[in-house]
A and B are shown apart, each in its own frame.
Chain A
Amino acid sequence: MRPAFSVIFLTTLIGVGQGLFLALFTIETYASVGLLPPQSGAFFGRGSAIAVGFLCAGLVASFFHLGHPERAWRSAAMWRTSWLAREVIALPVATGAIMLYGLVHQLHWNIVVPGIGTQLPDGLSLIVGAGAVAATFVLFLCTGMIYACIRFLQEWATWLTVANYLLFGTASGFVLASAYSAYQSPQLETFLVTWATIITAAALVTRVTSLIRNARIRHRSSLQTAIGVRHARIAQTAQGFMGGSFNTREFFHGASPMLLRSLKWVFLLLVFPVPVLLLWAGVLSHSPVPALAAFIVQYCGLVVERWFFFAQANHPQNLYYQVIS
Chain B
Amino acid sequence: MTQLALVIDLNVCVGCHACVTSCKEWNTSGEAGFMSDDRPYGVDPTGTFFNRVQTFEVGEFPRTETVHFPKSCLHCEEPPCVPVCPTGASYKRPADGIVLVDYNKCIGCKYCSWACPYGAREIDEHQKVMKKCTLCVDRIYDQTLPEAERKPACVLACPTSARLFGDVYDPDSQVSVAIRESGGYALMPEWGTKPANHYLPRRKTRMKIHDDELMRAANPLKKEGKLPKPALTDPSLDDVTSW
Q: Which positions in A face B, CB cutoff 8 Å? A: 1, 65-69, 71-72, 74-78, 81-85, 88, 146, 149-153, 220-221, 223, 225-229, 231, 233-247, 250-251, 315-318, 320-321
Contact = CB atoms under 8 A, between A and B. Distances in A.
Contacts of A221: 117, 188, 190-191
Q: Is the interface of B mostly helix, strand, loop or mixed?
A: loop
A246 B122 contact: yes
A67 to B, nearest CB: 2
Q: Which of A68, A247, A321 has the most CB of B within 10 A?
A: A68
Contacts of A245: 46-47, 49, 122
B144 to A, nearest CB: 32
Nearest to B121: A246
Interface in B46-60: 46-49, 52-60
A152 B52 contact: no
B169 interface: no
A239 B117 contact: no
Contacts of A239: 52, 54
A248 to B, nearest CB: 9
12 contacts: A152-B117, A152-B188, A228-B201, A236-B56, A236-B57, A240-B49, A240-B52, A243-B46, A245-B47, A250-B110, A316-B188, A321-B119
A251 B119 contact: yes
B49 to A, nearest CB: 7
Given A65-B109, A225-B189, A247 B56 contact: no
Contacts of A78: 83, 85-88
B45 interface: yes
Interface stretch (B100-108, B150-158, B230-238): B100-108
A65 B125 CA distance: 13
A236 B54 contact: yes
A43 to B, nearest CB: 37
Nearest to B40: A243
B58 A316 contact: no
B107 A247 contact: no
Contacts, number: 173
Interface stretch (B65-73, B171-179, B211-219): B65-73
A236 B55 contact: yes
B128 interface: yes
A83 B191 CA distance: 19
B3 interface: no
A71 to B, nearest CB: 5
Contact of A223 (B56, B59, B189): B56
Shortest beta-carbon contacts, A-B, top 3? A67-B108, A67-B128, A317-B119
B55 to A, nearest CB: 4
A301 B158 CA distance: 53
Contacts of A146: 111
A258 to B, nearest CB: 25
A238 B186 CA distance: 21
Contact of B53 (A75, A228, A240, A250): A240
B54 A320 contact: yes
Nearest to A325: B55
Nearest to B190: A220
A231 B56 CA distance: 12
Contacts of B191: 151-152, 220-221, 316
Given A67-B129, A228-B201, A240-B20, A74 B107 contact: yes
Q: Which of A76, A77, A151, A229 has the most CB of B within 10 A?
A: A229
A72 B57 CA distance: 44
A231 B119 contact: no
Contacts of B189: 225
Given A75-B87, A240-B17, A246-B123, 8 more contacts: A152-B188, A225-B188, A229-B201, A234-B57, A235-B56, A235-B57, A316-B118, A316-B188
A247 B59 contact: no
B188 A320 contact: no
Contacts of B71: 240, 320
Contacts of A65: 109-110
A233 B87 contact: no
B187 interface: yes
B84 A84 contact: yes
Nearest to B103: A68
B134 interface: no
